[in-house]
């Protein structure tokens, strides 16, 4: 990872912002970026001067999920460790003692959608979209999506969305409970920061406890992770995955 692929700054008092900055790949995650986000989050959780966090992407995109080119070349023996690392990142976001705002422009695809939906509040620009392309390339949704989707939109709608690889517009995401607000593209940064400031003014102790109360069903997330490990590891070894990635990369 180069030093500028992840930006950690302070756009306002009490607010930390993490920006994935890999625009040439629509901010697709690499193992190095994922590990650095985890490292930064742990530091921010312990920093008393930070009361809320904004997670976003640069250059008009949130995150394209995993880098398929690198994933396809990954030895099959390393898949389980890769998935567990992603699970750890999602758990950090879900269990964050401080409110986390996802500011989504462009696309949040695959694991990128998982990142966004693991945050407490999701803001999307009018032209943004959520994409779950997993079954198109022979995989199952990961990054805890089977948990966060059901939590936000209910089982029936989540089931349909995971089966259907078509993008979901920002307005549709709002109507289905996956987004909390839709704003103009030029307003996203200010809206996310202002929301984070508003959240930061609440009692941090009460906020942390409210989040714990909301996570009373966290065992469902762990069950999701374990099923993901079995399903995704098997899918990664399939010919359908090889063919699906090859077709995707040819586009």
d(CA 147, CA 218): 9
Please state the rounded mean pLDDT for residues 163-184. Answer: 94
pLDDT: is 82 or 49 the higher one? 49
For residue 1, pLDDT beyond 70: no
Of 61, 19, 226, 240, which Cα lies nearest the Cα of 135? 240
At 63 the pLDDT is 97
For residue 2, pLDDT beyond 90: no
d(CA 146, CA 158): 8
d(CA 77, CA 74): 8
For residue 217, pLDDT beyond 60: no
At 102 the pLDDT is 98
For residue 218, pLDDT beyond 60: no
| Of 3-17, 59-73, 106-120, 163-177, minimum mean pLDDT range | 59-73
Please state the rounded mean pLDDT for residues 57-81. Answer: 81
For residue 27, pLDDT beyond 70: yes
Kindly indicate the confidence band of residue 71, based on its pLDDT and cuts at 50, 70 and 90: low
At 202 the pLDDT is 87
Burial 185-216 (b: 16+ CB within 10 A, else e): eeebbebbbebbbebbeeebeebeeebeeeee
At 33 the pLDDT is 94
At 221 the pLDDT is 72
Please state the rounded mean pLDDT for residues 99-120. Answer: 96
Residues in the chain: 251
For residue 44, pLDDT beyond 60: yes
Kindly indicate the confidence band of residue 58, based on its pLDDT and cuts at 50, 70 and 90: very high
At 90 the pLDDT is 95
Average pLDDT, the chain: 88
pLDDT: is 160 or 239 the higher one? 160
Residue at token pair 């996956």 = 178
User: Class of 6-187 per CATH?
Assistant: alpha beta
Structural domain boundaries in the chain? 6-187
For residue 111, pLDDT beyond 70: yes
For residue 228, pLDDT beyond 80: no
At 235 the pLDDT is 73
At 23 the pLDDT is 94
For residue 22, pLDDT beyond 70: yes
Please state the rounded mean pLDDT for residues 163-190. Answer: 95
**Residue 225 φ then ψ, to 5°:** -60, -45
pTM check: above 0.75: yes
At 93 the pLDDT is 96
């Amino acid at each position: 990872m180069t030093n500028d692929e992840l930006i950690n700054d302070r756009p306002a008092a009490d607010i930390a912002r993490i920006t994935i900055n890999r625009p040439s790949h629509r901010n697709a995650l690499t193992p190095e970026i994922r590990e650095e986000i985890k490292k930064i989050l742990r530091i921010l959780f312990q920093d008393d001067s930070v009361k809320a966090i904004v997670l976003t992407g640069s250059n008009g995109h949130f995150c394209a999920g995993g880098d398929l080119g690198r994933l396809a070349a990954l030895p099959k023996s390393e898949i389980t460790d890769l998935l567990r690392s992603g699970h750890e990142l999602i758990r950090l976001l879900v269990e964050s003692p401080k409110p986390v705002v996802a500011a989504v422009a462009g696309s949040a695809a695959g694991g990128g959608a998982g990142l966004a939906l693991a945050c407490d509040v999701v803001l999307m620009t009018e032209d943004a979209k959520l994409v779950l392309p997993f079954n198109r390339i022979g995989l199952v949704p990961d990054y805890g999506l089977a948990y966060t989707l059901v939590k936000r939109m209910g089982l029936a709608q989540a089931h349909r969305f995971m089966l259907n690889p078509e993008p979901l517009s920002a307005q549709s995401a709002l109507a289905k409970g996956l987004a909390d607000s839709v704003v103009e593209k030029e307003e996203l940064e200010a809206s996310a920061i202002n929301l984070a400031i508003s959240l930061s003014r609440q009692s941090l102790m009460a906020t942390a406890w409210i989040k714990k109360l909301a996570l009373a069903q966290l065992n469902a997330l762990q069950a999701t992770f374990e099923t993901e490990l079995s399903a995704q590891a098997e899918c990664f070894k399939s010919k359908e995955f090889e063919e699906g990635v090859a077709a995707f990369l040819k586009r």
